[in-house]
Amino acid sequence: MKLYITTFFFILTISLSYSQSSPEDKLGAWYTYFGNHRISNKLSIVAGGQIWAYEPATNLNLFLAKLGVNYHINDKLKVELGYSFLDIDKSIQHREGSHVFENRISGQIAYKHKLSRLPIDHRLRIEHRIFNPTEENPTKHRLRYRLGTKIKLNKLLFVRINNELLSTIEDDFSSANRFYTALGINLSKSCNLQLGYLNRYLFEKDINLHRLQVSLFIKTDHRKSKS
């Protein structure tokens, strides 16, 4: 366990020290909440939101609210249909102007398995994004693939690591990569808090954005109350 904790803080220290030489010299923050509510053996509902801040306590530049429905094919495989609403401040793109509102429809497949004793999870998502006010490209389509793992340290603590590649295939092809590592704390059997670091790299602009991330996740199972 000591080795896992030492490795986690080693990665975090290197990542934060690298941010001093990055084109983006501000250390921002992402605040996340998501709840997963199982309502039957086959169905669950996902609801939550996210706030991006250009600095940890000021200059909010993105608000996201999401609602999704999961169909559980089996214990390892599920599919999801989701809808998200976003309020985006263009200053995150270093541009002046009013806010842009996005309506996003998404579909995804999630699969988990074990590699030896290491748990592995995959998530493949496609997004149809509609922007208002309309810009040069009012609609965009984006493909996202995330590979991750969750390493249990003890009953209280765990380490979460994942990497996600995002690609928008339009006339203005763009892509990004998000690397995330966090120390998780099990507050209860149904709730955990994750404190971590996220590196968001924008390929077309060659920019690294360094973000602290605070995330709260809750799971409820309403099948128990029906039994």
- CATH classification of the domain holding 87: 2.40.160
Domain that holds residue 158: 2-226
pTM of the complete model: 0.84
Cβ 212 vs Cβ 29: under 8 Å: yes
Q: Supply the pLDDT for residue 227.
A: 47
Q: Supply the pLDDT for residue 17.
A: 46
- Rounded CA separation 30/60 (Å): 10
- Rounded CA separation 204/132 (Å): 23
- Rounded CA separation 76/96 (Å): 45
CA dihedral sign of residues 138, 211, 195, 4: positive
The beta strand positions in the chain, using DSSP E, are 27-38, 43-55, 58-72, 77-88, 100-115, 118-132, 139-152, 157-168, 174-188, 191-202, 207-221
Say if strands 77-88 and 174-188 run parallel, antiparallel, or are unpaired. Answer: unpaired
Other residues' Cβ atoms within 10 Å of the Cβ of residue 95? 8
Which among 28, 38, 100 has a CA at the least distance from the CA of 64? 100
Count of structural domains, the chain: 1
What residues in the chain have per-residue pLDDT under 70? 1-25, 57-58, 91-98, 134-136, 171-173, 224-227
Say if strands 207-221 and 27-38 run parallel, antiparallel, or are unpaired. Answer: parallel
Q: Supply the pLDDT for residue 27.
A: 82
The per-residue pLDDT of the chain, averaged, comes to 85
Provide, rounded to the nearest whole percent, the portion of the chain with pLDDT above 70: 79
